[in-house]
């Protein structure tokens, strides 16, 4: 399919893209698309471009298609949407809250609202952002009384945002039968039972159960799922051993043989 969308940049277009990638102001997604066009014009295959830029080959293919069908501006920029586009959408909000919990820039003890606004403009498609908009997002999203295990980033730069946006874009793709998204995860699970019989719900009162419970051992859950198709397969094991992962490898190979797909852990 890649041969259908041949990218042949003019001299002026190449110069514009090179200049774009050397600036820090455009959003990370726009810079990624510019790099994709430069690499495929140079003759790099889609899978190699995807690996170099830490993105999916479908993103490379879509960028090719947008360039062939609509030109350079259409390939680089977002599609116009009906209605008023919110200043901070869910994706930008995710980047902002992650940024606010990372280490502040060198020479700073903590992030300020202005520093966060400036960094977010540099990393995304936003042209400007007020301190008040940043404050309202953080006020609604950050809950200092809660604690949760998390993968804490040290530096939120363009490469980090590329990877984050790639994952978010990947799971926001519409369902395609020929390219199903197959996800895999595993988790240890503690089995419990009720120490006392729960009380059924009544008119005006919810069902109630006692806080005391009995431990009934542990198990491990392995799951393959295809979210957009409503399909899942679960394997329950007594322990977490290499034989179970061998089964998972077999399942992954079987899925790949039956239909082209992506498996992400």
Angstrom distance (rounded) from CA 101 to CA 113: 13
Based on the structure, what is the number of domains in the chain? 3
Q: CA 63, 66, 68 angle in degrees (round to 5)?
A: 110
| CB contact set of 75 (below 8 Å; sequence gap of 6+) | 33, 37, 63, 66, 67
Give the pLDDT of residue 111: 85
Q: How many residues does the chain have?
A: 265
252/223 same-domain check: yes
How many degrees, rounded to 5, is the angle at CA 238 between CA 235 and CA 244?
A: 55
Same domain, 259 and 220: yes
Q: Which parts of the chain register pLDDT below 50? A: 1-2, 82-85, 145, 259-265
Whole-number pLDDT of residue 24: 56
Task: Identify whether residues 62 and 124 lie together within a single domain.
Answer: no
Instruction: State residue 137's pLDDT score.
Output: 80
247 domain-assigned: yes
Quote the CA–CA distance of 66 and 61 in Å, as a whole number. 9
* CB-based contact 243:232 (threshold 8 Å): no
Cα separations (Å) of 80 from 58, 83, 84? 21, 9, 10
79, burial (CB in 10 Å: exposed 0-12, middle 13-18, buried 19+): exposed
Domain end: 27, 51, 76, which one?
76
Where in the sequence is the domain holding 142, given as residue range(s)?
90-161
Six-digit token string for 5: 């969308």
Which residue's entry shows tokens 């946006």?
Answer: 165
**Closest C-alpha among 114, 36, 123, 116 to residue 72:** 36
d(CA 116, CA 150): 21
Residues 60 and 96 reside in one and the same domain: no
22 plus 96 within the same structural domain: no
Answer whether residue 171 is part of any domain.
no
Q: Please say whether the beta carbons of 13 and 33 come within 8 A.
A: no
Does residue 204 lie within any of the structural domains? no
Same domain, 57 and 127: no
Give pLDDT tens digits for 52-85: 888 877 788 888 888 888 888 888 876 655 444 4
* pLDDT digits 0-9 by tens, 97-110: 888 888 888 888 88
User: What's the predicted TM-score (pTM) here?
Assistant: 0.36
Q: Is residue 203 part of a domain?
A: no
Are the C-beta atoms of residues 76 and 30 closer than 8 Å to each other? Answer: yes
Model pLDDT, residue 154:
66
Assigned domain for 167 exists:
no
């Amino acid at each position: 399919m890649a041969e259908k969308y041949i990218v042949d940049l003019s001299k002026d277009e190449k110069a514009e893209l090179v200049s774009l990638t050397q600036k820090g102001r455009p959003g990370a997604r726009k810079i990624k698309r510019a790099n994709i066009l430069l690499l495929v014009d140079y003759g790099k295959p889609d899978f190699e471009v995807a690996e170099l830029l830490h993105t999916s080959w479908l993103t490379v293919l879509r960028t090719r298609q947008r360039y062939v069908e609509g030109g350079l501006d259409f390939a680089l920029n977002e599609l116009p949407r009906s209605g008023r586009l919110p200043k901070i959408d869910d994706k930008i909000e995710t980047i902002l809250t992650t940024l606010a919990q990372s280490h502040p820039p060198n020479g700073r003890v903590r992030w300020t609202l202005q520093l966060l606004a400036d960094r977010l403009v540099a990393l995304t498609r936003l042209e400007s952002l007020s301190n008040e908009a940043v404050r309202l997002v953080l006020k609604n999203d950050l809950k200092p009384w809660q604690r949760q295990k998390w993968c804490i980033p040290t530096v939120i730069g363009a490469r980090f945002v590329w990877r984050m946006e790639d994952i978010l874009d990947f799971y926001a793709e519409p369902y395609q039968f020929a390219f199903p998204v197959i996800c895999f995860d595993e988790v240890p699970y503690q089995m419990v039972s009720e120490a006392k019989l729960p009380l059924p719900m009544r008119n005006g009162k919810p069902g109630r159960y006692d806080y005391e419970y009995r431990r009934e051992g542990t198990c491990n859950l392995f799951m393959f799922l295809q979210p957009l198709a409503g399909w899942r397969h679960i394997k329950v094991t007594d322990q977490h051993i290499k034989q179970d992962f061998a089964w998972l490898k077999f399942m992954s190979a079987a899925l790949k043989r039956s239909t082209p797909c992506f498996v992400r852990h």
